[in-house]
Amino acid sequence: MWVANLDKAAKKAAAWLINKTPIRNIRDWGIAFSLWPVHFTTSCCGAEFAAAVAPKFDAERFGFLPFIGIRQCNVLFIEGTLSKKMGEAAKWVYEQMPEPKFVVAMGACGIDGGIFWNSYNIVRPKDILPVSVFVPGCPPRPEGIAQAIIMLQRKIRKGELVKYEF
């Protein structure tokens, strides 16, 4: 019907507009500086993650502050090894986060198991989640986390990660 078509057209127009250059840039710029990681500690790299958001390294200057409610967060930091039990929890947490959402895997364990590569109880984050940035190190230094945040921001601002489809 007529009205339905109008609705569809409006949505199409909005999608076109939001993906058009100046507005898209503003949108990506906004997202890049409002990153809210979930407070979800998976493993021992959490010690360095905590140091990164504490004074001295102060990740908040990148617009990056751990938050409690999953529904208000858009970054999932996998802080080190994912055990099988934790892997399931990580999937639930990821599914509950609203779009657009990003995953950063921290530590050698987050890449390919690290020192625990032959353990019977781990999963690789890349096998269960779409990881955008990996942070190498065992554990990575807080500077490495800052670098990961900047890389994530660059990726977002290049428009590689956020796609609006209606």
Partner 1 sequence: MNFEELKSRIEEGLRELSAEISGKEPNVININVSRDKIVEVAKKLKALGFDHVKAVTAIDYPNERFEVVYIASSYSNLDLAFFLINLRTDLPYNDPTTPSLIEVWPSAFYQEHEEHDLMGIVFEGHPRMGERLLLPESYEGLPPLRKEFKIKTEGINA
Partner 2 sequence: MSLEERELEVLIGPQHPASGHMRMIAKIDGDIVVELRPNIGYVHRSVEKLAEAKKFLQIIPLVERPSLADTTANNLAYVMALEKLLGLEAPPRAQYLRTLLAEINRIHSHLYGLGIHGVMIGSSTAYMWCFGDREPFIELAQELTGARLSYSYIIPGGVRRELPSRFTEKVEKALRYMENRMKDYFNLYLNNPVTRARLEGVGVLSKEDAIRLGVAGPNLRASGVPYDVRKVEPYAAYPDIDFDIITEKVGDAFARVMVRVKEIQESIRIIRQVLKKMPEGPILHEKYIKAISPKMREYMKETGEVKFPGIFANLRIPAGEAISRVEGGRGEVIFHIISDGKMSPYRMRMVTPSFRNVILFEHLNRGVRVADIPAIYGSLDYFPPEADR
d(CA 163, CA 130): 14
Provide the terminal-to-terminal Cα distance of the chain, rounded to the nearest Å. 19
- Contact range with partner 2 by CB under 8 A, out of 9-17, 21-29, 136-144, 153-161: 136-144
Residue 109 backbone class (left: φ over 0; alpha: ψ -120 to 50; beta: rest): alpha
Q: Does 158 bind partner 1 (CB under 8 A)?
A: no
- Contact range with partner 1 by CB under 8 A, out of 44-52, 116-124, 138-146, 153-161: 116-124
Q: 163: burial class by Cβ within 10 Å (0-12, 13-18, 19+)?
A: exposed
d(CA 83, CA 90): 10
Among 11, 12, 85, 158, binds partner 1 (CB under 8 A): 85
Among 19, 83, 128, 159, binds partner 2 (CB under 8 A): 83
Q: Which residues bind partner 1 (CB under 8 A)?
A: 83-85, 88, 117-121
Q: Which residues bind partner 2 (CB under 8 A)?
A: 38-48, 50-51, 54-56, 68, 70, 81, 83, 85-86, 89, 93, 115-116, 118-122, 138-139, 141
